[in-house]
Structure 1
């Protein structure tokens, strides 16, 4: 029980120290996060749902972008009515052209899957 109290006290001291440091650095730099003086910038959607493989998709979400060899490779979840979820792959050089590129449904399996995550491992040179 004493050990738990020591850990709680240590965590509280660390959070107080970090909070003080954040406020000081924010006020010195004029950060809008501290003053509340900030604005969101919103653009048109960079990718829109479309009809693919005979299925009308109605939403695009969960983007996982990867930059590789001068191109963006984007994996996203799409939502539909006939089929609830699927993963779509798109590749393009510039974000402004993402809507004009062809989308490909990745056929992993017929069941539920979404929220793609991309991992890259450097190949072993064996």
Structure 2
């Protein structure tokens, strides 16, 4: 039996954010850890969500081993050994970027967009649309 790969989407649209990406509410991460795992597996170019109004904005992230280690430490799933490993991975990654002459290629970035439009105590329309070019 031949194994086929699942198609990998360029864009994911969800109701709420993945954990640790524009999801901070009352100084804690309110995003979904399972969604974060799926985003890391699929590595789309764009992830759009809302729901956590205070997280409105955009962040561009390279979903690599360094990011994965960071998220495991932040989630409390890993200890000091992973922090040390994360530093080693980050140093190696930066050295590779430097030798290649710059920043990561655009196709390696994932843009996270929290497109929440309302906010404040009365949930009034406050935020402007975010335009993303792929």
TM-score range, shorter chain: under 0.3
Q: Which of the two has greater strand per residue?
A: 1
TM-score under structure 2 length normalisation: 0.24
TM-score under structure 1 length normalisation: 0.25
Tell me: higher relative CO, structure 1 or 2? Use CA pairs within 8 A at least 6 residues apart.
Answer: 2
